[in-house]
Amino acid sequence: MYAILTLCFAHIKKRKIQNVLMAILIMLSTLLLTTSVTIIMNTNNIFEKTHHDSKGAHQILTMGKDIHNPITINNWWQEQQGVTASNLIPYRNLSGFTNGVKTSNLYLFMMNTPKTPFAIDRLLFSEGENQDYPTKGTIWIPTSMASTSNILLGDAIEFNTGEKAFTLSVSGIVVDLPFGGPFTTNARIWMNNSDYHKQFDTMIGSEQYMMALRFDDYQQSANYWKEFEKFLNGPYLESKMEYVDLYSFYLIINKIIGFIMIAFGIAMLFISLFIIGFSISDAILTNYKTIGVIKSLGLTSRKISATYVLQFGLLSVFSIIPGIIASTVLSRVIIESSLSYLKAGKHLTIIQDFRIIILLAVIILVIVILTAFIYSNKARHVEPVQAIKYGMSEFANHKVSRRSNNSNRFSNIVNLPFQLQIGLKNITKNMKSSILIIVLTAITSAILVFSAVILNSFISIKQNTPAWGYDSSHVVVTVNNDATFSKQQFEQFLRSDERIKNHAWLDQFTGVLPIEPNQPLNIHVDTIEGSFDDAGYETIFGLNPVNKNEIAIGINVAKALHKNLGDIVEVYIEGKQHHLIVTGIYQSIANMSYSARITADVIKVYNATYSASKQSMINLVDETLSAQIVDDLNNNFKSSVKAVTQQTLLDDVFKEVVTVFILPLSVIGILFIAVTFIIIFSVSRINVRKESGTYGIFKSIGMTSNTIRWSVTSGILFLSALGAIFGIFIGVKVIPVALQSIIVDYGLLKIPLVINWPITIGLSLLSVVVACLGCWISTKIVAKTSPRILLVE
């Protein structure tokens, strides 16, 4: 045992830098893997905890008075055993608000707040005093709205009904699960009862109602709905939000982050294992004569193998512990950032399940020890006689000679300069390390490229909005006040303006699709007066609807109904039954593709006087005039409409996503840049040590140290450039395809990417620069050492 310990610590002392770098690699692998596990584990747990603490709803129903009687429906649900139903909460709709100089375009539900705490769907206070209801002149707003619009307690917010404007101050910021997640375009504003009646009793239009349902056993909800629809003598024909709609977008970002971190954490672990094997093989080859002598003196192969196993086992233990500690900090930062909407108080309650983390640490340790054991078994094949004669096995000696000869022949054929020949020999004589460098720079390049592409895709979403399921119009106008709005005058203004190319009117209804008897699917139905194509809506299969018997459906609707192009869909809109032909299927992140598109002619089948007048989408001859058109429309129709650019709407929805993604992607990118530097430094150092005699001869015949270093670095430059090319392909093509398994449930069949090629190529070249820098620094030993010492070594 003493001999094993002596050899083990001798190996550690002899290669201090290499062992330190190896320890860092194992630590970073542990950091990424444990962080990803903690993120994935907490993403579900934090949402479930928040849903439990708030006695969260499983379904949200919204109703007017035109189709169903809200009071009758609420009474029926209140009588059911095993279901908790909230009271009806009245609300009015507004579009947008102004916070100082900033205008936001969220679709607002102005709620008449009942006394809290509610029976279900409770509000959890993130900031502000928890009171029974907002005091007069104040409101409570959701965390999502506060975060995206930079609203603080005490800020004054101005709302406009179209007839008048009024201002209320923020006295509370609350976690509002149903309407407070990422990608939301809605927000519930909780008002004092007297403020609500003062501002809205005289407002044109009808009051809407919202109620929440919480089931003792959510799995039994379908049975309740069968009984409910028997009571209605037909399907429920108004809006219904399901539990899956409530939680899905809280989880999507962290699922993507977790997937990326796990994938790259595993990649880093495999690279670490490869380096461990490479280091052991090199150590055995370097100390071949010594091992031969030791074996001839009676030390067994098993004990020699144990020295390497013990060495890397100790390195792993001292590396895994700081990796776990660092992961607790990193995971908290990422979770706090990505799930900030669920933060009720100063911090989220993050669960660190040390049983799982310790299990993962033990698995990493076992894998490292097994790898060390497998590679150290090469010491068993050391023959003392061959070791003393060749410094390696006879077979390996012939192999090295043959590879060297092949390299010389190739150099003679292409007639390369002498410096490049040195770099080429470095590549061909060390094939394993050459392959490692290509793989490593490919992975690092892929991470940097993918990070740049995914962030640029969100930042530049305006370039690819149709692929996300949105329109690509330049200006969007929302009608605030039907009483003061004249559609005829508005359209006359548009037609007389030469800057305007075309426009269309969009309205939205709730559609009900009877998938099975007593099991309807409630979806959003976009209705257009004009052309979907002119507005910029796209389909992934087929075409947008044009006629009154046609419909385009989202991919999740197509999947739920098992429908394809040309099939007939039965759908209820405003309580009227329609049978429509599927002309197109599209993807949309909005509403998770649980939506459909029809023309206004479908509504006119039962309502001949119908005219869409909720939202107008305007395209311009010159898009750069968008801001100018917005100002003109707001000035000319300020009492009835609100115009904004499409870019403003998209920024309100997606800017938070960019903020959340920046941190984890930056961390992963920086880690892999560091890993690339560490590994190439270590590999180059090993290769320089192998060729020290050759470099001593070069220096003794007059070749400068820098010339030798540039020659070695030229080989790394070639390998890393090759890896960077592969990395660009992986980052642009392979990783997005791998993410499809996650995003498809959220309504996207394919991630719409916007690639900025100069930035993409520039970042991929960063891995090349880091690789060359690692090699250049590692060869510094050539400059510091005299030719005589190099020859002796």
Question: How confident is the model at residue 451, as a pLDDT?
Answer: 87
Confidence band for 727, pLDDT divided at 50, 70 and 90: very high
Same domain, 679 and 623: no
Structure tokens, 61: 């129903």
Same domain, 79 and 228: yes
The dihedral built from the CA positions of residue 187, 188, 192 and 193, taken in this order, carries a sign that is positive
Angle at 348 between CA 345 and CA 351, to 5 degrees: 145
Question: How confident is the model at residue 411, as a pLDDT?
Answer: 47
Confidence band for 382, pLDDT divided at 50, 70 and 90: low
Question: How confident is the model at residue 384, as a pLDDT?
Answer: 54
Question: How confident is the model at residue 787, as a pLDDT?
Answer: 58
Across the range 753-761, mean pLDDT stands at 89
Across the range 546-569, mean pLDDT stands at 93
Last residue of a domain, one of 208, 237, 266: 237
Cα 356 from Cα 50, distance rounded (Å): 23
| pLDDT over 70 (residue 222) | yes
Residue 611 in any domain: the answer is yes
Same domain, 33 and 149: no
Residue 441 in any domain: the answer is yes
Tell me: the pLDDT tens digits for 56-90? 899 899 887 677 889 999 999 999 999 999 999 99
Residue 244 in any domain: the answer is no
Question: How confident is the model at residue 410, as a pLDDT?
Answer: 44
Cα 87 from Cα 93, distance rounded (Å): 19
Percent of the chain with pLDDT over 90: 21
Confidence band for 599, pLDDT divided at 50, 70 and 90: very high
Maximum average pLDDT range among 120-129, 199-208, 783-792: 120-129
Residue 280 in any domain: the answer is yes
Question: How confident is the model at residue 750, as a pLDDT?
Answer: 84
Tell me: the pLDDT tens digits for 478-516? 887 777 788 888 989 998 988 999 999 998 888 888 776
Q: Could you tell me if 515 and 133 are in contact, meaning their C-beta atoms sit under 8 angstroms apart?
A: no
Lowest-pLDDT range, 233-242, 336-345, 459-468? 336-345
| pLDDT over 70 (residue 443) | yes
Same domain, 441 and 490: no
Cα 748 from Cα 331, distance rounded (Å): 27
Confidence band for 597, pLDDT divided at 50, 70 and 90: very high
Sequence-distant (≥ 6) Cβ neighbours of residue 766 within 8 angstroms: 445, 448, 673
Across the range 255-282, mean pLDDT stands at 79
Report field, pTM of the whole predicted structure over 0.85 = no
Across the range 516-539, mean pLDDT stands at 85
| pLDDT over 50 (residue 391) | no
Same domain, 656 and 626: no
Lowest-pLDDT range, 264-278, 603-617, 684-698? 684-698
Same domain, 459 and 558: no
Structure tokens, 395: 């077979």
Structure tokens, 703: 């070749």
3-state secondary structure of 196: helix
Cα 674 from Cα 30, distance rounded (Å): 15
CA distances from 29 to 35, 269, 309, 663, 668 (A): 10, 5, 19, 18, 11
Domain tally, the chain: 4
Same domain, 78 and 38: no
Strands 138-142 and 165-175: parallel
Tell me: the pLDDT tens digits for 20-55? 878 888 888 888 888 888 887 887 788 888 888 889
Question: How confident is the model at residue 327, as a pLDDT?
Answer: 87
Cα 548 from Cα 304, distance rounded (Å): 82
User: Of the candidates 241, 237, 240, which has an alpha carbon nearest to the alpha carbon of residue 69?
Assistant: 237
| pLDDT over 80 (residue 163) | no
Q: Could you tell me if 351 and 44 are in contact, meaning their C-beta atoms sit under 8 angstroms apart?
A: no
Question: How confident is the model at residue 526, as a pLDDT?
Answer: 92
Q: Could you tell me if 142 and 97 are in contact, meaning their C-beta atoms sit under 8 angstroms apart?
A: no
3-state secondary structure of 15: coil
Q: Which helix (H) or strand (E) holds 511?
A: strand 500-516
Residue 143 in any domain: the answer is yes
Across the range 668-691, mean pLDDT stands at 81
Confidence band for 405, pLDDT divided at 50, 70 and 90: low
Q: Could you tell me if 173 and 128 are in contact, meaning their C-beta atoms sit under 8 angstroms apart?
A: yes
Last residue of a domain, one of 623, 649, 675: 649
Q: Could you tell me if 728 and 437 are in contact, meaning their C-beta atoms sit under 8 angstroms apart?
A: no
Q: What is the mean pLDDT of the chain?
A: 82
Which residues are 504's β-sheet partners?
Answer: 617
Question: How confident is the model at residue 582, as a pLDDT?
Answer: 95
Cα 220 from Cα 319, distance rounded (Å): 49
Q: Could you tell me if 126 and 180 are in contact, meaning their C-beta atoms sit under 8 angstroms apart?
A: no
Cα 447 from Cα 453, distance rounded (Å): 10
Sequence-distant (≥ 6) Cβ neighbours of residue 294 within 8 angstroms: 304
Question: How confident is the model at residue 11, as a pLDDT?
Answer: 65
Query: Quick one: DSSP state of residue 590?
Result: G
User: At residue 514, what are phi and psi to the nearest 5 degrees?
Assistant: -75, 90
| Half-sphere exposure of residue 440: CA atoms within 13 angstroms, side-chain side | 35
Angle at 143 between CA 139 and CA 148, to 5 degrees: 105
| pLDDT over 90 (residue 170) | yes
Query: Rounded to a whole number, what is the largest CA-CA distance in the chain?
Result: 104
Across the range 250-257, mean pLDDT stands at 76
Residue 485 in any domain: the answer is yes
Same domain, 258 and 233: no
Same domain, 663 and 763: yes
Question: How confident is the model at residue 555, as a pLDDT?
Answer: 93
Same domain, 316 and 259: yes
Confidence band for 540, pLDDT divided at 50, 70 and 90: very high
Question: 4-13, long-range: CB within 8 Å, 24+ apart, which pairs?
Answer: 4/303, 4/306, 4/307, 4/310, 5/310, 7/304, 7/307, 8/307, 8/308, 8/310, 8/311, 8/314, 11/283, 11/307, 11/308, 11/311, 12/311, 12/314, 12/315
Residue 60 in any domain: the answer is no
Structure tokens, 490: 């508005």
User: Of the candidates 282, 296, 269, 262, which has an alpha carbon nearest to the alpha carbon of residue 742?
Assistant: 262
Residue 403 in any domain: the answer is no
Question: How confident is the model at residue 696, as a pLDDT?
Answer: 72
User: Of the candidates 561, 565, 571, which has an alpha carbon nearest to the alpha carbon of residue 516?
Assistant: 561
Number of other CB atoms surrounding residue 721 within 10 Å = 18
User: Which domain, by its residues, includes 637?
Assistant: 467-649
Structure tokens, 676: 């690339």
Q: Which helix (H) or strand (E) holds 303?
A: helix 301-338
Across the range 218-222, mean pLDDT stands at 84
Question: Please, what's the b/e burial string for 155-193 (b: 16 or more CB within 10 A of its CB; e: otherwise)?
Answer: eebebbbbeeeeebebbbbbbbbbbbbbbbebbbbbbbe
Tell me: the pLDDT tens digits for 90-106? 998 887 788 765 666 67
More confident residue, 383 or 477: 477
Maximum average pLDDT range among 542-546, 660-664, 711-715, 787-791: 542-546
Same domain, 74 and 23: no
Across the range 426-439, mean pLDDT stands at 78
Find the distance separating the first CA and the last CA of the chain, reported in whole Å: 30
Residues in the chain: 793
Radius of gyration of the chain (CA): 33
Last residue of a domain, one of 602, 633, 649: 649
Same domain, 560 and 447: no
